[in-house]
Structure 1
Amino acid sequence: MLRTAASRVLSKSFTKAPPQTIAQRAASTFRNESPFQRSSTKRSQILLLARPAKSSFYATESGLPFDKPDLKAEKQYGAGHLKPHPDIVSSESTTRHVFEARSEQETKKVKGALRQDFETIKDTFALTEVPRESLYIGAAGVLPYAATSLSTVFLASEIKHIHSTGQGWIFSADTAHQLLDWITPIQIGYGAVILSFLGAIHWGLEYAGYGGCHSYRRYLYGVVPTAVAWPTMFMPVEYALITQFTAFTFMYFADARAAVRGWAPPWYSTYRFVLTFLVGASIVLSLVGRGQIINHDGTLRNAVDYVEAGKDTQWIALEQEEKERYRKLAEEEAKGEADEEEDDDKKDKKKGEK
């Protein structure tokens, strides 16, 4: 193959090694070193890393380290006298008050932030996007729950007042107890109905295909609250109310997540927040009202009393079982002894006949 001057220059450029970087040169240097030289180099690098930099020393204006102070400057400052500045330094300048006066600009910022928060709360509870029919019927559905809760608080206050003064405002102690025994199952039963209704909404959305069909995932949202709500009818009052409160809170988070996923209308999470807040407040009021009279009234028992009563019932049942078992053993022993005596008598008769 013929080679020209241009082809020779081009071939030299291809065969020429590329320039090495700093890292490559360092690597080649370390590859050519002996193990002893490598270890010594590493030790030197460690010492360099451990050595503090010059900029880490505290130095004065003259550039000397901090342990060699400028004595002349200290003498000069020591010979002088401090000048008082009452306008700048005073007893109030070094005091931080708990309640300090804000400037007009800071006050405007605080008022603006509070106004913005108030507008956010107002928009949240206004529920402008919620259909009017759903809003009115939902609010009406909360009224029975709130009425039973307020009645529980009033009756509890009536019973407490009777125990403290000996006389009630409207009802007697027996009447207040009887009304309380009627209202409590109504509140728990109505709560179970509401929870079942909240679960059934997801079945309706699945039937309508809102946000697509999600099969078992959305059907599960309708089954769980019903399975949790109805067993509370057989629980002690405090346990039932706390369980329903937890179920209502769980359903709110489930509904809010469903709205975010597009399984429910966008306004549904805000709507559910307001209703859940009202129902949760009613349950808390009922628990507080019943807690006021547990310590004053022996006929009204709390959850701990129910547990202790259950334990006592179990011990009584065990004692009865033990007594019954011992009685049966005693009867069997007596029967065995009687059988042995009869056998002995029969044997004696046979011997006498012989």
Structure 2
Amino acid sequence: MLRNGASRLALRSIAAPTARPAASFHRTSPIQQWTTQFGSMASRRPQLPQTAQLKPIQAAIARRNITEKQRQAESKYAHEEIKPTPETVSSTSSTHPIFSEVATETPTKEVDMMAGVKHDVGTVKETFNLSAVPREAYYMGLAGTLPYLATSVSTVYLAWEINHANSGYGFLMSETTAIQLLHLLEPLQIGYGASILSFLGAVHWGLEWAGFGGYQGYKRYAIGVVAPAVAWSTLLMPLEGALITQFLGFVGLYYVDVRATYKGWTPNWYAVYRFILTFIVGASIVVTLIGRGELPGHVPSAVTRAEVFHDKGASEEKLSKDEEARAAKKKEAARSDDRGEDK
């Protein structure tokens, strides 16, 4: 076989990586080889592809092993002409999102971070949608809660007037006037609350007579009987106890109305409608209790006033007896004077 300079150079370049000086060759034990290959920092360094480590002639020989399909693909990409598309170039076309995979398409629409909150708000609006409630019932029901709300706000204002009275006078009225108005509001609020509670129970009698959802008999009649019974009992209680009892009565009747709506005894909108009314009345009761809790100690409550009136009656009787005893003593003294003059 003939050899020339070029063939010797090619063979020398192929054999070059394997030729090492004998002095630099050190045999290592299997344990040291394991540590060097897998445990050292050298194994963690980025490595170049196997083709890139070869010399040009070695790479040319290794590339002869590629298939015909791969060679055609290389030829296609080598002769492919890249067309300019300036319309697709923008300030963000050469970047990719930080929180996404590399080489993925940039989202054309920004992610709405408030989407979950908006969905929850929409659910609440849909739940409490009152569009199905008849406008007449809705407006008249809200108007019916205004007297209860007015007495509640008035109680808080009068309590503030009494607490901030300076030398017997508050912002708009005297302390005595504020106390008298406060005592006047107490039976008004309790009486009106009892009327509302009785009315809500009577609604079920009307539904039973109309046969809405079928005739339920004693079950639905009982609702209309228990509600006014509870409302009537609050008229005999002290103020704070009456307010708390009416609050429990409104909440309990709301639960009954919700169950009746689910069973089909009432219209579908009645449960949400009752929630709005119960919330307003319940909030008014809570505000009234808070306002009365801020009253000073010298303002008598309902029970205390009864004791005061009782003591006042006893004192008046005692005072009349004292006056009669004094008059008797004066008459006796006048008679004794007359006897002395006669002598």
Counterpart AA for 2:301: R
Number of residue pairs the alignment of both structures matches: 215
Higher-Rg structure is 2
Does structure 1 conserve the Cα–Cα contact (< 8 Å) formed by 2:190 and 2:243?
yes
Residue 112 of structure 1, aligned match among 110, 115, 118: 115
User: Cα RMSD (Å) of the superposition?
Assistant: 3.5
Determine if the alignment matches structure 1 residue 197 to structure 2 residue 235: no
Matches within 5 A, 1:126-205: 126-162=129-165, 167-205=169-207
User: Could you say which residue in structure 2 is the equivalent of 1:122?
Assistant: 125
Q: Per-residue displacement from partner, 1:246-305 (whole Å, max 9, x unpaired)?
A: 000001110010000000000000000011011101111000100111xx23223388x8
Q: CA deviation at 1:161?
A: 1.1
Q: CA deviation at 1:179?
A: 0.5
Q: CA deviation at 1:113?
A: 2.0
- In 1, Cα distance between equivalents of 2:297 and 2:164: 11
Instruction: Label 1:113 to 1:183 Cα distance change in 2 as closer, same or farther (>3 A).
Output: same
Question: Larger helix proportion, structure 1 or 2?
Answer: 1
Determine if the alignment matches structure 1 residue 214 to structure 2 residue 216: yes
Matches within 5 A, 1:291-310: 291-293=293-295, 296-301=296-301
- In 1, Cα distance between equivalents of 2:117 and 2:186: 40
Does structure 1 conserve the Cα–Cα contact (< 8 Å) formed by 2:168 and 2:175?
no
- In 1, Cα distance between equivalents of 2:189 and 2:200: 17
Q: CA deviation at 1:79?
A: 9.9
Does structure 2 conserve the Cα–Cα contact (< 8 Å) formed by 1:238 and 1:302?
no
User: Could you say which residue in structure 1 is the equivalent of 2:73?
Assistant: none
Q: CA deviation at 1:123?
A: 3.6
Q: CA deviation at 1:108?
A: 5.3
Does structure 1 conserve the Cα–Cα contact (< 8 Å) formed by 2:168 and 2:174?
no
Q: Per-residue displacement from partner, 1:43-92 (whole Å, max 9, x unpaired)?
A: xxxxxxxxxxxxxxxxxxxxxxxxxxx9x999x99998xxxxxxxxxxxx
Instruction: Label 1:257 to 1:108 Cα distance change in 2 as closer, same or farther (>3 A).
Output: farther
Does structure 1 conserve the Cα–Cα contact (< 8 Å) formed by 2:168 and 2:176?
no
Q: CA deviation at 1:187?
A: 0.7
Does structure 1 conserve the Cα–Cα contact (< 8 Å) formed by 2:201 and 2:227?
yes
User: Could you say which residue in structure 2 is the equivalent of 1:231?
Assistant: 233
What secondary structure is seen at the aligned counterpart in 1 of 2:294? helix
Same amino acid, percent of matched pairs: 51
User: Could you say which residue in structure 1 is the equivalent of 2:46?
Assistant: none
Instruction: Label 1:277 to 1:110 Cα distance change in 2 as closer, same or farther (>3 A).
Output: farther
Does structure 2 conserve the Cα–Cα contact (< 8 Å) formed by 1:142 and 1:275?
yes
Instruction: Label 1:169 to 1:242 Cα distance change in 2 as closer, same or farther (>3 A).
Output: same
Q: Per-residue displacement from partner, 1:301-351 (whole Å, max 9, x unpaired)?
A: 388x89xx8xxx9xxxxxxxxxxxxxxxxxxxxxxxxxxxxxxxxxxxxxx
Q: CA deviation at 1:122?
A: 3.0
User: Could you say which residue in structure 2 is the equivalent of 1:247?
Assistant: 249
TM-score normalised to structure 2 length: 0.56
Determine if the alignment matches structure 1 residue 273 to structure 2 residue 294: no
Instruction: Label 1:73 to 1:207 Cα distance change in 2 as closer, same or farther (>3 A).
Output: farther
- In 1, Cα distance between equivalents of 2:113 and 2:237: 49
Name the stretch that deviates more: 247-256 or 124-133: 124-133
Does structure 2 conserve the Cα–Cα contact (< 8 Å) formed by 1:225 and 1:251?
yes
- In 1, Cα distance between equivalents of 2:123 and 2:256: 23
Counterpart AA for 1:190: Y
- In 1, Cα distance between equivalents of 2:177 and 2:204: 42
- In 2, Cα distance between equivalents of 1:168 and 1:154: 11
Gaps of at least 5 residues in structure 2 are: 1-30, 42-98, 101-106, 312-343
Gaps of at least 5 residues in structure 1 are: 1-69, 81-101, 314-354
What secondary structure is seen at the aligned counterpart in 2 of 1:162? coil
- In 1, Cα distance between equivalents of 2:113 and 2:179: 50
TM-score normalised to structure 1 length: 0.54
